[in-house]
Structure formats: structure tokens, C-alpha cells
Amino acid sequence: MQVEVLSPSRILAKVTASGLQVPGYLGQLGILPGHAPMITELGVGILRVDKADKSPPLHFFIAGGYLEISNDHAKVLVDVVEKPEEIDRARVEQARARAMGRLTDTKSDIIDLGRARKALQRADARLAFLENIANVKMR
């Protein structure tokens, strides 16, 4: 199946794939060639594209977007997407600390708790992504 990974600012991948795994809004989805047509909302987590030529899979951190599948063609349209080498661990850890601080600040009633929870979720997912990629490379 053909897979395209697209963001508003760039094309990240156009490959022939044997499958992909995406974080759906309600949980992880596995997609194989011949999948029924569908459109679904994406969540936060790791996008993995297994290449048909058996070369190493592609990994991306994504946050939000849509997956469209039709005629053995998958388009992954993402709001936020990063390759492993584009993620600055120190910056992510600072963002996580800020989000935790906002969530535990009992003195302020100005904090948008929903926004702080989403920031914490993204930071945790980025850190998990970096750990996952490091473990894959060590094998």
C-alpha cells in the first residue's frame, strides 16, 4: 500500500508500506494492505510505517490530525509531526515541568487545566517516543 505522511508545512514520507501503526483518538490502530476505506481522527503518540522493502521502519511523533484510507492508499495528515532527531529532550523536559507546575499550582485560578493536561500528555508522549526509538536502535 502507498503511504503519505503530510503536515501543513512539509511532506515527510511517500513510501510503499507493508503496514502502519497510528495513535487513533481512542487508541492504537494497525493498518495493513487491503484495509477498508475509512477516515479517522488521530491522537498523540508514535506513528510507525513499516516499509514494503523490509528496510528499517519510519518513526514519527504525531499530535492530532487525520488518517484517510482508500484504494490501498493511506494519507496521514498531521497537525504536529517530528522525527526523532528533531526532538530536543531538554526542551521537552522543561515543557513537562511547566505543565506539572501548572497542574499542581493551587494558588492560581487562571490556569487552563485542559491546556495544561494536553501539554503534559504531549511531553510524556515525546519522552516515551524517544525512549522507544532508543530501545529499537539498541537491538
In angstroms, what CA-CA distances link 5 with 43, 61, 95? 15, 12, 26
Please report the pLDDT score of residue 134 as a whole number. 63
Instruction: Summarize pLDDT for 25-42 with one digit per residue, the tens.
Output: 889 999 999 999 999 999
- Over the stretch 92-132, which tens digit does the pLDDT of each residue have? 899 899 888 888 876 766 667 788 888 888 898 888 888 87
* 117: Cα within 13 Å, side-chain hemisphere: 3
Domain locations along the chain: 2-84, 87-138
Place of cell 513499516: 50
Across all residues in the chain, what is the average pLDDT?
89
Query: What is the CATH code of the structural domain delimited by 2-84?
Result: 2.60.15.10
Measured CA distances, 132 to 30, 74, 98, 115 (Å)? 18, 24, 23, 25
What is the dotted CATH code of the domain comprising 87-138? Answer: 1.20.5.440
